[in-house]
Every structure is written in structure tokens, then in C-alpha cells.
């Protein structure tokens, strides 16, 4: 670890320097994983003339920088190469659809194809002269500033391609505009969008994919079966900077998507992550038969600090994503390849965490670790009844003072804690009795929080606390937490991955060997740690310049 760069990560994806935002066009091709990303080669802040950075990997853990796949170069993208996706054609060839900012500063959709499909690294891409393929115009009522981020395309029963593009109307109706094509080059806008929702504003980076209703295997984007799958529509809401998803049905005859429950209005749709997380995108890994999710985790520091340290932006650790047995939520879990980084392991079994206690987890590199813990709470009847006004979990987490005893919890982990506890980030649960006795399914409410308020002595960072409810029943299930700690990022998976919270922290003291890890229980009732496993994680090769064929 470079002492001048305490916030660079050991195993989270980042370029050697400069600005990165959205993950673009993830895929596996000839056994090589590819990740493209919105990259500003000129500095640590976003710039409209952004390019497609490119890295490759054999295991999704270690990455090699490749030259940018493409830069602004032609009238249809001369002012920027914005986000987009890869589609693998039936002949096995990958094609990129991406948003270009054209010579008039309009958003248009373009195509890029590999120059040499026998190169598994796909180092060179070309832009066919046909570009742009889709343009906004007054006739189709699309605003040229709100027309971007094409998804992976899928094949319909008629053999035609479909793709959606994010948009919104002037009166804030968010839209997934649908286009169809027979040959992938000539695209026609369908009269109806795939889906829309009033008063949600611009939909950025939509993602639309099938999930199996019977297990955790992934489903290829074009595959369809009437009874075996559901569809997921994810949108990144520009107005809130969060990624929301719904689970529903895709009617292939009408080419419309119908969510099972409501959508984002009134905040009713679940989020992929309740912390810092945006512009996520999935792809289907046909080798390991799984769907993998990437998401952009931006900084919580002021831009001047980003410029100083010379970089900005991380990708979350890649997550496997699938439909929970209940059919009501998605589950996410770090891809299994993370285990190749595991070193020293510490295990606890059946450890009682007495009311008010804090126990240190000794023996792992606490600044770069993987921690799994499951709690069992016995005296559930001692839980406080949740206040009817406490509907917003982030608010409860922000107001809950850890020093105030309140029945069941807070209990959880304190990570990136300094030697004298001047700094720490706490990831914890609180259990309440439901106040809704008409609903027998929700006897208890489990709250998960990630509290950054004490994470750094530096007061200039955004230290907002995050929170969400976890869909588990503590009378039958253990309360589980997995947390990935990596210097300046804390990625937490509650309830087996049904609730995820990612945060960025910038400790001044809890750095390297001066970082500590604890389990704690500040509640008035004791809690059992059924098991706790913590691993030191080795550093991955992440775009190491000395390993890279491409030096800027």
C-alpha cells in the first residue's frame, strides 16, 4: 500500500488514475471477461468528452488495462462516448451499442464492432459509417438531452431484436423507449415504450433481463419461458442518484413489461443497494451459468480531494444476482472467485455478545478483509415496537444514537476502527416488533444500517448514514451480515444479500495496520454470534501499469 494513497483499494476495480463512472458493456468472450467503463483520460473529474476505458480478466478478480476501446472520433460521437451495452449475436460476435454526443450535442445511439473477432482481448473496435442508428427528433417526441444508455438487446419470438433506451418527457415521465431491428443496424422506434412511470424523471442506464424462478443460475438475456422465468427492470433515477428495480412479467406479444408491484413513486420499489451505488449493469456469464452485476461507487469526498489524489470512482465487487425463492426480491452475493484472495482466517462459534459489549476480531488485516457473521437473537419479545412514524429506514438509522440502549440492537460490526476509536464505521441491525398487527407476516421488522458519521476525523467528506429494512423473520432465521472492507469502501450484504449497503469512508487514523475490526452489541439484551468468519484478503492485480500492455 502506497502511504500517499491510503484510499486506493486492494481488490475493488479502479483504473490506475483519473475519473471513472458507469460500468459499460460487461461480457465474457472466448473465456475472457471484459469490463468497459466511462473514463476521463484527462483528469479526476467527469468530462463530457468521456471515453470507453477497457480492461480484461480471466477471473473477474485480477484485471489488465487495455487501450480505451474508443474515443470521440466521428460526427455521431465527437462530443463524448457515453454509456452502453454489449450484445453477443447468435454467431458469437459481440456488438456494442452506446450513446454518442453528436456534433449538435444531441444524444444518439451508435454501434461499434470488433476489428478482429479472433482476438480474445478485443483490443480494437471500429465504428461503422452507418452511425448514428437512432436519433431523437421532434416527430418521435424525444428530447435530445434525455435519450441515452442502450441496454443489451434481446431477440423476440419473431426473430427481431429489441433494445431499450432511457428517456423522460418534459413533464418527468420516465421511459424505457423500445426499438426493434431485423439486422441490428436498422432500428425502428415502437409506438409504446417497454415501460414508463410518471413523475420519476430521467431513467438512466436501464437494464432488462430474465431471472429463473427456481434457482440461482442465470438466464441468457434473450431466453424466454412462460412459467420458468420472471423479468427484472432496473433503472438509475437521475433525480435521486439511486438504482431501483422491479420484478415482473414481460408480455412478448404486446412488448410491454408489467411489474408485479408498484414502482419508484413513493419510494416503493426496492433498491439494488441502499448506499453509494449507481448506473449498474448485468451480463450473463455462459461459462459459469450466472448473471453478474457491476455498479459504480463514486467518492464521498470533495472534488478537490479527488483531484489531489488523482482519481475518482470505484466499481463494486462483482456480484452474482438472482431471484429469491419468495419471488419478491433479488439476492446479490460477491462472486465466488473472491475466495482466491483469502488468506488468514479467524473463526468464532457460539460467542455470546453481552449487552453493551464490544469484542475485537484479532488476526486479520482489518483494512482489507471479508467478514461473514450470523447472529441469533433469542428474546425477541423484548424488542421495542417500531414507531408508526418510522417509515423511512435511513432516517431511523441516522437518528438512532448508538449509545442509547434500545432493546434488540444495535448489534453488528465496527469496521475501519482506529486504535482509540476516534474513527469507526458501524454496520449493524436493530430488531423491532411490527406495529401492524393486521399483517401476520411481519411480526418483526429488521433494520440494517451503515453509519459513516464517525468514519473519519476529516469533516469535509459526505458521512451520511444509510439504512434499509431486511426481509427476514428473526424468529425463524439467523440475522446474517457479510461485509467486504477495502480501505475506503465498505460493501455490506444483509440477510443473505437481500439488502445491500455500500459506503465510502476516508479514515485519517484507521489506515493499514492501524485499522481494527470489532463485533458489538449496544442493545440491552444479549445476542449470540452463531458463527463469525473473517479473512484477510490479498491484493488483486487491478490494472497494474507494470503488468499492462497499455501505458498512458
Strand partners, 519: 359, 413
At its nearest, how many Å lie between ligand FRU and the CB of residue 84?
8
Comparing CB distances to ligand FRU, the nearer of 11 and 98 is 98
44, 50, 256, 540: residue in contact with ligand FRU (rule CB under 6 A): 50
392: cell is 423511512
At its nearest, how many Å lie between ligand FRU and the CB of residue 125?
17
35, 88, 175, 205: residue in contact with ligand FRU (rule CB under 6 A): 205
CA 302 to chain centre: 22
Q: Total residues contacting ligand FRU (rule CB under 6 A)?
A: 13
How many Cα atoms are found within 13 Å in the side-chain-facing hemisphere of 117? 9
Comparing CB distances to ligand FRU, the nearer of 84 and 494 is 84
Binding pattern to ligand FRU, positions 63-92, x when CB under 6 A? Answer: -------------------xx---------
Contact 377, 470 (CB under 8 A): no
Active site annotation includes 170? no
Q: What are phi and psi of 76, to 5 degrees?
A: -80, 0
Is residue 321 within a helix (H) or strand (E), and if so which, with residue range?
strand 319-323
- DSSP-derived secondary structure letter, 12: S
Strand ranges for 471-526 from DSSP E = 479-486, 489-494, 499-504, 516-521
b vs e for 97-133, b when ≥16 Cβ sit within 10 Å of the residue's Cβ? bbbbbbeeebbbbbbbbbeeeeeebbbebebeeebbb
At its nearest, how many Å lie between ligand FRU and the CB of residue 382?
45
Comparing CB distances to ligand FRU, the nearer of 100 and 318 is 100
At its nearest, how many Å lie between ligand FRU and the CB of residue 23?
10
Q: Which residues have CB under 8 Å from 335's CB, separation 6+?
A: 60, 290, 292, 317, 318, 319, 320
User: Environment class of residue 387 by beta-carbon count within 10 Å: exposed (0-12), middle (13-18) or buried (19+)?
Assistant: exposed
272, 279, 479, 519: residue in contact with ligand FRU (rule CB under 6 A): 279
Q: Give the CA angle between residues 486, 298, 547 to the nearest 5°.
A: 60
At its nearest, how many Å lie between ligand FRU and the CB of residue 38?
4
State which of positions 223-252 bind ligand FRU (CB under 6 A). none
Q: Exactly one of 2, 22, 243, 392 is catalytic; which is it? A: 22
State which of positions 259-278 bind ligand FRU (CB under 6 A). 278
Is residue 399 within a helix (H) or strand (E), and if so which, with residue range?
helix 393-399
Comparing CB distances to ligand FRU, the nearer of 102 and 204 is 204
At its nearest, how many Å lie between ligand FRU and the CB of residue 216?
28
Binding pattern to ligand FRU, positions 441-480, x when CB under 6 A? Answer: ----------------------------------------
State which of positions 6-45 bind ligand FRU (CB under 6 A). 21-22, 38
26 closest CA partner among 41, 39, 36, 15: 36
Comparing CB distances to ligand FRU, the nearer of 279 and 402 is 279
Strand partners, 137: none
150 closest CA partner among 181, 179, 121, 192: 179
Comparing CB distances to ligand FRU, the nearer of 8 and 148 is 148
At its nearest, how many Å lie between ligand FRU and the CB of residue 348?
40
State which of positions 285-344 bind ligand FRU (CB under 6 A). none
Comparing CB distances to ligand FRU, the nearer of 71 and 216 is 71
At its nearest, how many Å lie between ligand FRU and the CB of residue 236?
6
9, 14, 56, 99: residue in contact with ligand FRU (rule CB under 6 A): 99
3-state secondary structure of 404: coil
Rounded-to-integer distance, Cα 544 and Cα 517, Å: 28
Comparing CB distances to ligand FRU, the nearer of 109 and 365 is 109
Q: Does residue 204 belong to the site contacting ligand FRU (CB under 6 A)?
A: yes
Rounded-to-integer distance, Cα 481 and Cα 374, Å: 6
Strand partners, 233: 208, 246
280 closest CA partner among 209, 376, 178, 353: 209
State which of positions 105-124 bind ligand FRU (CB under 6 A). none
Q: Which residues are catalytic?
A: 22
Contact residues for ligand FRU (CB under 6 A)?
21-22, 38, 50, 82-83, 99, 148-149, 204-205, 278-279
Amino acid at each position: 500500500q502506497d502511504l500517499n494513497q491510503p484510499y486506493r483499494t486492494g481488490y475493488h476495480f479502479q483504473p490506475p488514475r483519473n475519473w471513472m463512472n458507469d460500468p459499460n458493456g460487461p461480457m465474457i468472450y472466448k473465456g475472457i471477461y471484459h469490463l468497459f467503463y466511462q473514463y476521463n483520460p484527462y483528469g479526476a473529474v467527469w468530462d463530457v468528452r468521456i471515453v470507453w476505458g477497457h480492461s480484461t480478466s480471466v477471473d473477474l478478480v485480477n484485471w489488465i488495462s487495455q487501450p480505451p476501446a474508443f474515443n470521440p472520433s466521428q460526427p455521431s460521437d465527437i462530443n463524448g462516448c457515453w454509456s452502453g451495452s454489449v450484445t453477443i449475436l447468435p454467431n458469437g460476435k459481440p456488438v456494442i451499442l452506446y450513446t454518442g454526443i453528436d456534433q449538435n450535442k444531441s444524444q444518439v445511439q451508435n454501434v461499434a464492432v470488433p476489428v478482429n473477432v479472433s482476438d480474445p482481448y478485443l483490443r480494437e473496435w471500429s465504428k461503422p459509417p452507418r452511425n448514428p442508428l437512432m436519433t431523437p427528433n421532434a416527430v418521435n417526441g424525444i428530447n435530445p438531452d434525455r435519450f441515452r444508455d442502450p441496454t443489451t438487446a434481446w431477440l423476440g419470438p419473431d426473430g427481431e431484436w429489441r433494445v431499450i433506451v432511457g428517456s423522460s418527457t418534459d413533464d418527468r415521465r420516465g421511459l424505457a423507449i423500445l426499438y426493434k431491428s431485423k439486422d441490428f443496424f436498422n432500428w425502428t422506434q415502437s409506438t409504446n415504450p417497454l415501460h414508463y412511470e410518471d413523475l420519476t424523471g430521467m431513467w438512466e442506464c436501464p437494464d432488462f433481463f430474465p431471472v429463473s424462478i427456481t434457482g440461482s443460475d442465470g438466464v441468457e438475456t434473450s431466453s424466454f419461458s412462460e412459467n420458468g422465468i420472471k423479468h427484472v427492470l432496473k433503472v438509475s433515477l437521475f433525480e435521486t442518484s439511486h438504482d431501483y428495480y422491479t420484478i415482473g412479467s414481460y408480455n412478448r406479444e404486446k412488448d410491454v413489461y408489467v411489474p408485479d408491484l408498484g414502482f419508484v413513486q413513493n419510494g416503493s420499489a426496492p433498491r439494488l443497494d441502499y448506499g453509494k451505488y449507481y448506473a449498474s449493469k448485468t451480463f450473463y456469464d455462459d461459462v459459469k451459468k450466472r448473471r453478474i452485476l457491476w455498479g459504480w461507487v463514486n467518492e464521498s469526498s470533495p472534488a478537490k480531494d479527488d483531484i489531489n489524489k488523482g482519481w475518482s470512482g470505484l466499481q463494486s465487487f462483482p456480484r452474482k444476482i438472482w431471484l429469491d425463492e419468495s419471488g419478491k426480491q433479488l439476492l446479490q452475493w460477491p462472486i465466488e472467485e473472491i475466495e482466491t484472495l483469502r488468506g488468514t482466517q479467524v473463526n468464532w462459534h457460539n460467542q455470546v455478545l453481552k449487552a453493551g459489549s464490544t469484542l475485537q476480531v484479532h488476526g486479520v488485516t482489518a483494512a482489507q478483509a471479508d467478514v461473514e457473521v450470523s447472529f441469533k437473537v433469542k428474546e425477541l419479545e423484548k424488542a421495542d415496537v417500531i414507531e408508526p412514524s418510522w417509515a423511512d429506514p435511513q432516517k431511523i438509522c441516522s437518528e438512532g444514537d448508538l449509545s442509547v440502549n434500545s432493546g434488540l440492537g444495535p448489534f453488528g460490526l465496527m469496521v475501519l476502527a482506529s486504535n482509540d476509536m476516534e474513527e469507526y464505521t458501524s454496520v449493524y441491525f436493530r430488531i423491532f416488533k411490527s406495529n401492524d398487527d393486521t399483517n401476520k407476516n411481519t411480526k418483526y421488522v429488521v433494520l440494517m444500517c451503515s453509519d459513516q458519521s464517525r468514519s473519519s476525523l476529516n469533516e469535509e467528506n459526505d458521512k451520511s448514514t444509510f439504512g434499509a429494512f431486511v426481509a427476514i423473520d428473526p424468529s425463524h432465521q439467523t440475522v446474517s451480515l457479510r461485509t467486504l472492507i477495502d480501505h475506503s469502501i465498505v460493501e455490506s450484504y444483509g440477510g443473505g444479500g437481500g439488502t445491500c449497503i455500500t459506503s465510502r469512508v476516508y479514515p485519517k487514523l484507521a489506515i493499514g495496520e492501524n485499522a481494527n475490526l470489532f463485533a458489538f452489541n449496544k442493545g440491552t439484551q444479549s445476542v449470540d454470534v452463531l458463527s463469525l468468519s473473517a479473512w484477510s484478503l490479498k491484493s488483486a492485480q487491478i490494472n497494474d501499469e507494470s503488468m499492462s500492455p497499455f501505458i498512458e
